[in-house]
Amino acid sequence: MPAQEVMDFYGYKGFFGKMRYAIKFVWRFFLDKVAFFCFVKSWRTVIHRWRGVNIGKGVYIGHEVMFDRVFTDQIFIGDNTSIGDRTIITAHANIPSETRLKKIYPRQVMQTHIGKGVWIMPNVTIAPGVTIGDEAVVATGSVVTKDVPPRVLVAGVPAKVVKDLSEKLNS
């Protein structure tokens, strides 16, 4: 995404706005690499918070989890959620090259919300703007393109509800 569009989104103007954005981007990029190679699970969570991801208490973040690199602060994760290895969580979608497809698919920045007590298994991809309800489970390899209700198991590409967990959680 061109820097000017990101600066406009955050309200940065002029030379000092450009410098502020550059420093923020480089800092977040550096922290992303540190978190990627960090072997201490509690440190990964702290590093991602420093990057700007809104992370609740008691959250586990697996190895090699990728959060949106430009709009990290548009991702919200509830308390006691577990995110499996190699998961991708995004908050924006755009076509970076100059193509006529941009007319059909304009740039979008959308908040992504993951509820409390959610279990995201490894290798899941979560699209921008998705909300995953509290105590939901997302199966390995799923691609979440639409909101997930609370207390369900979703699986597949695209992810669909395959089991209601309400009864088992209430007993």
What is the reported pLDDT for 103? 87
Q: How far apart are CA 84 and CA 138, in angstroms?
A: 10
> For the segment 82-128, what is each residue's pLDDT rounded down to a tens digit?
999 999 999 999 888 888 998 898 889 999 999 999 999 999 999 99
Among the options 48, 63, 92, 113, which is catalytic? 92
Contact call for residues 54 and 77 (beta carbons, < 8 A): yes
For the chain, what are the domain ranges?
A: 3-170
> Given this model, what pLDDT does residue 102 score?
85
Strands 119-120 and 82-83: parallel
The verdict on whether 92 is a catalytic residue reads: yes
Lowest mean pLDDT among 10-19, 32-41, 123-132: 10-19
pLDDT at 89: 98
CATH code, residues 3-170 = 2.160.10.10
Q: Which region holds residue 134: left if phi is over 0, alpha if psi is between -120 and 50, else beta?
A: beta
Residue 59 CB contacts under 8 Å (≥ 6 apart), including other chains: 45, 77, 78, 79, 80, 81, 82, 83
